[in-house]
Amino acid sequence: MPSLIDIRRRIRSVRNTQQITKAMKMVSAAKLRRAQDRVIAARPYAALIRKVLANLAVAVEADERASSNPLLARRPEGHVLLLLFTSDKGLAGAFNANLIKAAQKFVEEHADAELELETIGRKGRDFFRKRGARIVAEHIGILNAPRFDDAATIARQAIDRFRSGEIDAVYLLNNEFKSMVSQRLSVARLLPVEIPPKAEVVDYIFEQPANQMLESLLPRFVETEVYRSMLETGAAEHAARMMAMEAATSNASEMIETLTLYMNRVRQASITKEIIEVVSGAAAAE
């Protein structure tokens, strides 16, 4: 049976841990508010680009030059690039584990292709580096404060490699922020760009030829999707860490209550034993 000093030391240790988890929860909550605002602000822009692409769909079908745009070229996926978004830090529950598990599944599904990884985040890089995966590029620390310039750099490199035929397809794997308690894994093809189908056929009159509009719009669409993935992953990470730290704080409270109750029982037993020894000694002395 542990002594009272050992139990008190353990209670003090759990209480210190609880203070840390509570502070981390508050920090994640503050960061989540800012990240959530950025995600909400970026979503309408991304949706508008998709809408414009859908409006161009009719013109693309009638214009051979537009339909032959290099970023729309479909070819057998013999060489695939996966952009994997994970966090730089842990203590976020199953956030990174779910992303890595989805990435492993993606690798298995594309076993026949030559697969390359470009990791955005330390956790994904460390996991696949230890397993000898082919990592062509890594980006650490950019999800803490996502910038469009960083996303544009990643997107342009992928676009250049796709245009040159070095890779045949580019996929995004990230977590999308839905709510404080919900994130959704997303695996989407980035290149070649798939123009969204338009629900209603409307005869638009464009001032510029469709091929010129696509040449300027498609790279911007790819950059926006990468940037949106960065924002979504950052917000989802803060939400997952906040929930994990809240659960850890609650578990620490329950452990402190359990240890305190156990300590009181041990102290009671010790006092009872001392009383019995005193009474027994007095009875023996009579």
Q: What is the pLDDT of residues 161-179, one digit of tens each?
A: 999 889 999 999 999 888 7
Distances (CA, A) of 284 to 168, 270, 271, 278: 94, 21, 20, 10
Say what the pLDDT of residue 8 is: 87
β partners of residue 81: 116, 170
Say what the pLDDT of residue 203 is: 64
Say what the pLDDT of residue 60 is: 65
Q: Which domains are delineated in the chain?
A: 22-243 (3.40.1380.10)
Sequential DSSP letters for 166-222: S-SEEEEEEEEEEETTEEEEEEEEEES--PPPPSS------SS-HHHHHHHHHHHHH
Q: Tens of pLDDT along 100-149?
A: 999 999 999 988 889 999 999 999 999 999 988 899 999 998 988 889 99
* Structural contact between residues 204 and 58, judged by C-beta atoms closer than 8 angstroms: yes
What whole-number distance in Å separates Cα of residue 232 and Cα of residue 220?
18
Strand positions, DSSP E, the chain: 79-85, 114-120, 135-139, 169-179, 182-191
What whole-number distance in Å separates Cα of residue 183 and Cα of residue 148?
22
Mind listing the pLDDT tens digit of every residue in the chain (286 residues)?
A: 677 888 888 889 999 999 999 999 999 888 888 888 888 888 888 888 887 777 776 666 655 555 567 888 888 888 999 999 999 988 888 899 999 999 999 999 988 889 999 999 999 999 999 988 899 999 998 988 889 999 999 999 999 999 988 999 999 999 988 877 778 888 999 988 887 665 555 566 767 776 777 788 888 989 999 999 999 999 999 999 999 999 999 999 999 999 889 888 888 877 787 777 777 776 676 6
